[in-house]
Structure 1
């Protein structure tokens, strides 16, 4: 059965992470990069999300211009999976643009709606108070 780690972000830079397993993950199988789906599928009510990418269990990135759900060696000069080639080209292993059961992480962008608030965030003053005793021990 499918199991995905979802990273959902909005336009402001906030993001949330959640996991979907088995039946909850089945509606995402077969979706392609660039498709817009209803966010209720992933548990966020009243919105839409766009699939922007992902990677499989071994860390191989998905690439939008490779069709299907297969792994392929592709000759590329820039884009997803190719960093700092400075004019050169390289043959790299990438995964296709279709979400399959081999995909581990799926990146989504919120197109409509709002991200849910976190349950309880720690206040900055409380975080500093916890960090100070550790600093004092190091000084002695």
Structure 2
């Protein structure tokens, strides 16, 4: 089975929450395309409805809504997801992934469409970010250096 991280964005609070999706829970997502609605019950978000907005695989290749299927393709693009040209008229051949979720993905992005009875902060376990840990380590090291 495919294991991936689900990044749920909350438009009301402008916060994002990471949820690890493993085992049989991934079956609710595999085969769905960008724009599809998924019941939040699949990841422990009772009462919530999520809309899939994208994702990326282990190499960072992003999904693109206008490419059908699951696989990677080299596509000539002039802008949008996966390529932002520096000047007008520039086009480039980029490797992009289709709009369907497969077992190769590492991250799947979703946004909340309808809310449940409890707020997301209560349902998703809070984890301390890597950035905060590094800042605390730097502060400790600076304090020890002053001694």
Which TM class, normalised by the smaller chain length? 0.7 to 0.9
Q: Deviations over 1:24-79 (max 9, x none)?
A: 11111001001111111121011100100000111110000001111111111111
Q: Secondary structure at the match of 1:109?
A: strand
Extract unaligned runs of 5+ from structure 1. none
TM-score normalised by the chain length of structure 2: 0.81
Q: Secondary structure at the match of 2:42?
A: helix
> 1:16-95 to 2 correspondence within 5 Å?
16-87=17-88, 88-95=90-97
Among 120, 138, 146, the alignment partner of 1:139 is: 146
2:117 equivalent to 1:112: no
Is contact 2:85–2:91 with CA below 8 Å preserved after alignment? no
Equivalenced residue count is 136
Aligned to 1:102: 104
Give distance in 2, aligned partners of 1:92 and 1:131.
39
> 1:120-131 to 2 correspondence within 5 Å?
none
Q: Secondary structure at the match of 1:25?
A: helix
